[in-house]
Amino acid sequence: MKRFLMIFAIVMVIFSISGCASLSTSGGAFYVSDNASMARRGEATNTVWFGIFGTETFPSAERVARENNITRIATVERYVKLGVLGIWAEYTTIVTGQ
């Protein structure tokens, strides 16, 4: 019984460490071009429940640009906002450009 509890404790520590490490990266700017003008800004947010119920995680940069009439993308930023106990997560994509 002691051996089982020891193995269970080790597995739980590994799961909690790996879970926290994967959620600590909240996004940010991942594409920046040399386009200096950022006259337009578009934003889209999707909500995912329990990690599986939702349309998609991050909205695509192309879709956000198309919906906001941006023809030349200057920057793309992505952010994650977690809800209580990770029950839901909001994935946001922000696109700026001309």
In a domain, 11, yes or no: no
The tally of domains found in the chain comes to 1
Neighbours of 95 (CB within 10 A): 28
In a domain, 20, yes or no: no
CA-to-CA distance for 26 and 93, rounded, in angstroms?
12
pLDDT greater at residue 9 or residue 16: 9
In a domain, 33, yes or no: yes
The pLDDT value given to residue 22? 46
In a domain, 84, yes or no: yes
pLDDT in tens, 12-66: 777 666 554 444 445 555 555 555 555 889 999 888 888 777 777 788 888 899 9
In a domain, 4, yes or no: no
Q: Are strands 73-82 and 88-97 parallel, antiparallel or unpaired?
A: antiparallel
In a domain, 57, yes or no: yes
Mean pLDDT of 66-89: 87
CA-to-CA distance for 96 and 37, rounded, in angstroms?
9
pTM score of the predicted model: 0.61
In a domain, 7, yes or no: no
Question: Can you give the residue range of the structural domain that contains 31?
Answer: 26-97
In a domain, 10, yes or no: no
